[in-house]
């Protein structure tokens, strides 16, 4: 049975993605801060992780089994900049890096991004740096200390990270993409958002279900390339 780890699986889009994957037959590891509050899903078990804590990430990576799918979904929107960069960027980078030896050949890695992360909406300087062909994952770690912007900048940086991991993992048949769920009625999106949780989760699930010939290193919404 394939195994998937989803961060931020306690509620919102992450919980819905976890539910669908468990229904499809995955063994689902629910990456949650508080295992006591994890959703009860058949075929799933809670794994404690605070993605803002490198120590917590290290402990999780050491105890999980080999994975066929990693969904970096945990995110924060209205938070102080250090938390935004720690959760939305440094967490996915450190977790993905720590799990590299445990990703099976042909695995999928999905970064849950936002339309607010489009490069066109970022400062000229950040866009230039993220587009730089010499950009490395360590440069992204440095950006997490610099924090050049808020939520949108963090997601633009996450998109660049997806591209870099995609290049690194191409030879192992691992596809890495960023997917935007759209504006969704979760605690983050609020009750006025136009999309249901199921619609947002479907956009994320598209990248989880890609065939081996599918794209890698891209940014998508509902399976369509985005900026």
Ligand X SMILES: NC(=O)c1ccc[n+]([C@@H]2O[C@H](COP(=O)([O-])OP(=O)(O)OC[C@H]3O[C@@H](n4cnc5c(N)ncnc54)[C@H](OP(=O)(O)O)[C@@H]3O)[C@@H](O)[C@H]2O)c1
Q: Name the site residues for ligand X (rule: CB under 6 A).
A: 7-8, 10-14, 33-34, 49-52, 73-76, 87, 112, 114, 180-181, 183-184, 186-189, 193
Nearer to ligand X, 117 or 148 (CB): 117
Rounded to the nearest whole angstrom, what is the least distance from the CB of residue 156 to ligand X in the complex? 12
CB of 56 to ligand X, least distance (A): 8
Is the CB of residue 30 less than 8 Å from the CB of residue 9? yes
| CB 99, CB 33: distance < 8 Å | no
Please, what is the minimum distance in Å from the beta carbon of residue 171 to ligand X?
A: 28
Of 134, 176, 143, 147, nearest to 159 by C-alpha is: 176
Q: Which is nearer to ligand X, 104 or 196 (CB)?
A: 196
Confirm if 226 and 35 have CB atoms less than 8 A apart: no
Q: 173 and 105 in contact (C-beta within 8 Å)?
A: yes
By C-beta, is 62 or 124 nearer to ligand X?
62
- The answer to whether the CB of 165 falls within 8 A of the CB of 100 is no
For the chain, the C-alpha Rg in angstroms (whole number) is 16
Min dist. Cβ of residue 34 to ligand X (A): 6
Q: How near is the Cβ of 128 to ligand X at its closest, in Å? A: 24
- Using the minimum distance from each CB to ligand X, give the nearer residue, 73 or 216: 73
Closest by CA to 172, choosing from 219, 220, 212, is: 212
Q: Is 47 helix (H, G, I), strand (E, B) or coil?
A: strand
Q: Are strands 219-221 and 3-7 parallel, antiparallel or unpaired?
A: unpaired
Instruction: Name the residue nearer to ligand X (CB basis): 52 or 219.
Output: 52
């Amino acid at each position: 049975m394939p195994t998937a780890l989803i961060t931020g699986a306690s509620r919102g889009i992450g919980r819905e993605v976890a539910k669908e994957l468990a229904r499809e037959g995955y063994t689902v590891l629910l990456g949650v801060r508080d295992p006591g509050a994890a959703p009860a899903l058949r075929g799933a078990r809670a794994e404690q992780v605070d993605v803002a804590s490198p120590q917590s990430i290290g402990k999780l990576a050491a105890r999980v089994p080999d994975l066929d799918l990693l969904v970096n979904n945990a995110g924060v929107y209205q938070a102080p900049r250090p938390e935004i960069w720690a959760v939305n960027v440094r967490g996915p980078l450190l977790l993905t890096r720590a799990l590299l030896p445990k990703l099976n050949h042909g695995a999928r890695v999905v970064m849950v991004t936002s339309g607010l992360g489009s490069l066109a909406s970022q400062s000229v300087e950040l866009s230039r740096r993220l587009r730089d062909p010499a950009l490395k994952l360590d440069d992204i770690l440095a950006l997490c200390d610099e924090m050049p912007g808020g939520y949108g900048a963090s997601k633009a940086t996450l998109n660049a990270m997806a591209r870099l991991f995609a290049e690194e993992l191409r030879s192992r048949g691992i596809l890495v993409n960023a997917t935007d769920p759209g504006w969704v009625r979760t605690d983050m999106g609020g009750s006025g958002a136009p999309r249901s949780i199921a619609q947002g989760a479907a956009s994320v699930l598209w990248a989880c279900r890609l065939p081996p010939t599918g794209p890698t290193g891209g940014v998508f919404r509902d399976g369509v390339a985005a900026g």
